[in-house]
Amino acid sequence: MLNKRRAGILLHISSLPGGGIQGDLGQEAYHFVNFLADAGITVWQTLPLGMTHADRSPYQCLSAHAGNPLFINMDWLANKGWLPLSARDYQNASNSDKAYLTGMAFQGFLERADPQEKEQFARFCKTQAFWLDDFALFIALRNEFNQLCWIQWPEHFKERDTKAIKEACRRLNVEIEKTKFEQYVFFRQWLELKAYAKQRGVLLFGDIPIFVSYDSADVWANRQVFKLDESGQMSVVTGVPPDYFSAKGQRWGNPHYDWEYLKDTGFRWWVERMHTQLELFDILRIDHFRGLEAAWEIPAEEETAIHGQWVKAPGEELLNAIKAEHGSIPLVAEDLGVITPEVVELRDEFGLPGMKILQFAFGSGPDNPYLPNNYEKNCVVYTGTHDNDTTLGWSQALSEEEKRFTYEYLGNPSMPLHCALIHAALASVANLAIIPMQDVLELDSSHRMNVPGTVEGNWQWRFQWDQLSHERAARLAHLVKLFNRN
C-alpha cells in the first residue's frame, strides 16, 4: 500500500460537517469519501478514534481499543428501527443527548432487533471480549463514581477484588450491556464506512498513540503492563527532555511500560492492541515512534521533565512479535524531533516510512532533512500535522527573509506560499503526500486543530462544504493527477 505514489487528506471524524457539536459516521463521512475519490485521492488519515476525556484529546483516551460512541450516527440507529420516530429530532443533539439516544436505541434493539442481528451482537461481544469486558465494566464503574479516576475508587474496585467485580457485573449488567452495544454499533458503522471507502479506492489511515492514559481501562485492568507501585500509583511518567523549544521539556504524565513483563508475555497486550487497530484501518501511524527505541522517563513526583532519563525499549523484539502475529503491516513511523541513529536503524530495519514536515524545512540550511531534495521515496510528506499551525497561518508568521528563502527554494514566486507548499508536497518523491483539510481550504491560524501545551479550545475545528469551492476542488484534483498520485 505504501510502495506507490498516493495523495491523502488529514481530517479527523470530529471535524466533518453536520449537526451536533462534532462530526460522526453518517452521510457526511460518505460524502467526504466521494470527494476524495473524485479528486483521485486514495488515503484518508484520521486522528485516533478512541473515547476521549473531557478535554476531547484523541491522544488521551479511556481505552486503546474502544471507539468514541459520540461518533455514532443516529440516523443509522433510526433506520434500523431501534429509535422511535419521536426521537429522530437529534440533528443538533448534545453529547448527553447522544448518550440518552443510544440508551434508547439499545432498548429498541432488545425489543425489536431480529435474531440475526442479535446473533451478530453476541458474536461481536465474544470476539472482542479480550478488551470489551473490562472496558464495559470500567465505564459502568466510572459513571457510578462520578467520572473519578480509577485510583480514587473504593479499594475493592480499585484492586479488582474478585467478589466485588462479580457483584458489580451483576448489579451493573444493564449499563455494561449498553456500553457493549455502543461499541458494537461504532464498529459496525466504521466497518461499513471502511468497506465503502475500499469500494471507492480510498484507504483509511489510523493513528496509534504510543502511550495510553493513566485513567483508562487498559491501566486499570492490566496494571502489570505498566510501571506502577503496589498501590497502583505511577512511579514514573513519560515525556520528552528539555530542548530548543522548551527549557523544561514536556511532562506528558502517561504511565510507562514495564517492558520486561511485556517481553515475558510475548508482548501480548501490544499484539492485541494492534489486532483491533488493523481491523479498523488499512494503514497505521505509530505516534512518538522513537519511544520504541528509548523513552524519556521522569520520576512521577517531578513537576517538570528536566530530571528524567532515557530508558531503552525492546522495539525490535516488539515489532517482530507484531509481525509474527499479523504479517507485514503498513506502518508509518512518527519520527519527528531529535532522532538518534538507533531510532533510524530501528525504523529502517523494518522498512517503515518516516515523516517529513514541510513547515520544518526552511530554517537550517541545505542539509535540513525536511527539504524535499533530501527525501527518499519511502516516506510520508505533510505540509503540516494536527499539531502545527495551518500552512496559511504559518506563512503569515514568517519574516520577510524567511519568505524570500522559502520562495527561492520552491521556485514559485507567483503562487501564494501556502499553495506552493501543497504543490511541493505533491511534487516530491515521497510515496505518500498528506495535506490537512485546513490547507486544502486555505484557512488561517484560527482554524488549527491543536496548539501543543495548551488545554483550551483544541480538537474542536470543523469544516463546512461551502468552504470547498469548485475551483479549489478542481485545482486539487488537477495537482494529484499532474504529479501522478491518482
Q: How far is CA 309 from CA 232, 258, 296, 297, in A?
A: 22, 15, 5, 5
DSSP-assigned states of every residue in 268-327? HHHHHHHHHHHHH-SEEEETTGGGGTEEEEEETT-SSSTT-EEEE--HHHHHHHHHHHH-
Active site residue 334: yes
Query: Residue 425's closest CA among 363, 366, 343, 482?
Result: 482
Non-local (6+) Cβ contacts of 244 within 8 A are none
Region for residue 20 given its phi and psi (left: phi exceeds 0; alpha: psi -120 to 50; beta: otherwise): left
Residue of 134, 218, 293, 334 marked catalytic: 334
Query: Residue 150's closest CA among 221, 96, 99, 212?
Result: 221
Q: Any idea how long the chain is?
A: 486
Contact 72, 95 (CB under 8 A): no
Neighbours of 337 (CB within 10 A): 11
Q: How far is CA 115 from CA 107, 119, 120, in A?
A: 15, 6, 9
Residue of 144, 161, 287, 325 marked catalytic: 287
Rg of the chain in Å (alpha carbons): 23
Q: Cell for 277? A: 487497530
Region for residue 81 given its phi and psi (left: phi exceeds 0; alpha: psi -120 to 50; beta: otherwise): left
Helices (H), 327-484: 341-349, 391-396, 400-410, 417-427, 437-440, 470-482
In sequence order, the β-bridge partners of residue 236 are: 299
Name the pairing type of β-strands 250-255 and 43-45. Answer: unpaired
65/69 Cα distance (integer angstroms)? 12
Residue 45 burial (CB < 10 Å; 0-12/13-18/19+)? buried
Residue of 387, 402, 442, 444 marked catalytic: 387
Q: How far is CA 163 from CA 144, 155, 168, in A?
A: 18, 12, 9
Tally helices (H) and strands (E) across the chain: 18, 12
253/211 Cα distance (integer angstroms)? 10
Active site residue 287: yes
Which residues are known catalytic residues?
287, 334, 387
